[in-house]
């Protein structure tokens, strides 16, 4: 049972060869490139969704911030599609790997910070001290704000990893409990099955929400630095 619980989070391999790169690249197949002015239904729906999301997300940004539009839309599409595909039975979810999420969070966060220091050095440095701080508290607050800056990419990555991993573990556990209870008590097994259905619906929502939260936070860090 213990080995089976975490087996789904191990790096996948097929005939001894690692296939994690193929799995990471797979969601891009689901988003065909539009080749016509008026496309088929799938592409039209995807374009409509991307337009809706980008309008809402880029509304707060100035011209410089909007140069990140492609990056932010790619990010939300990738994380959302990866999380949703991970809800299929026996599939591997790349976003349960902390290494992968750190690999996304750290460069994006560093990009926003470096952009801020490069184009608005004074404002970026002044951000480390809230306006109106009493004199004796200044050194402490500068240290606290510096630490909170460096925690941002860690929090981004760990938030996504923990949410998706916890959801998958819960589904695994409650599914196992349902199976085990079938022979013991059919009523309890039925109640557990209802809980499993509700949890799966929740996990669908969490998959999309976590993609949105990740992208929104990157967008907010960018807004602070542009």
Partner 1 sequence: MAGPETDAQFHFTGIRKYFNSYTLTGRMNCVLATRGGIALLLYFKLGSKKTPAVKAT
Interaction site with partner 1 (CB under 8 A): 122-123, 125-126, 128-135, 138-139, 142-143, 146
Residue 123 or residue 201: which is nearer to partner 1 going by CB? 123
> Residue 182 is encoded by which pair of tokens?
């079938």
- How far apart, in whole angstroms, are the C-alpha atoms of residue 216 and residue 222? 10
- Give the ranges where 8-137 is alpha helix by DSSP (H): 20-25, 41-58, 63-66, 69-85, 98-119, 121-126
Nearer to partner 1, 101 or 225 (CB): 225
| Closest CB to partner 1 among residues 92, 221 | 221
In whole angstroms, the minimum distance from the beta carbon of 149 to partner 1 comes to 11
d(CA 157, CA 101): 5
Q: Residue 222 CB, nearest distance to partner 1 (Å)?
A: 16
As measured in angstroms, the least distance from the Cβ of 64 to partner 1 is 16
Angle in degrees, CA 46, 216, 212, rounded to 5: 45
**Distance (Å, whole) CA 80 – CA 216:** 13
Residue with Cβ nearer partner 1 (18 or 139): 139
Minimal distance in Å, beta carbon 69 to partner 1? 24
Nearest-CA neighbor of 168 among 79, 76, 77, 89? 89
């Amino acid at each position: 049972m213990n080995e089976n619980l975490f087996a789904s989070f191990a790096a996948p391999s097929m005939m001894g060869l690692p296939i994690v790169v193929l799995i990471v690249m797979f969601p891009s197949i689901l988003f065909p490139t539009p080749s016509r002015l008026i496309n088929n239904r799938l592409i039209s729906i995807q374009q409509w969704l991307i337009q809706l999301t980008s309008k809402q997300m880029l509304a707060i940004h100035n011209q410089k911030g909007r140069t990140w539009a492609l990056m932010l839309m790619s990010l939300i599409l990738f994380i959302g599609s990866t999380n949703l595909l991970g809800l299929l039975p026996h599939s591997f979810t790349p976003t349960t790997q902390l290494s992968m999420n750190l690999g996304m969070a750290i460069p994006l966060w560093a990009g926003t910070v470096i952009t801020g220091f490069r184009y608005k050095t004074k404002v970026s440095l002044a951000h480390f001290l809230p306006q109106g701080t009493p004199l004796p508290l200044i050194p402490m607050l500068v240290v606290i704000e510096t630490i909170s800056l460096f925690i941002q990419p860690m929090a981004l990555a760990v938030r996504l990893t923990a949410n998706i991993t916890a959801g998958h573990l819960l589904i695994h556990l409650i599914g196992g409990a349902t199976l085990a209870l079938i022979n013991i008590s059919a009523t309890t097994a039925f109640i557990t099955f209802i809980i499993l259905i509700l949890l799966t619906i929740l996990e669908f929502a969490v998959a999309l929400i976590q993609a949105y939260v990740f992208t929104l936070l990157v967008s907010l860090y960018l807004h602070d630095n542009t």
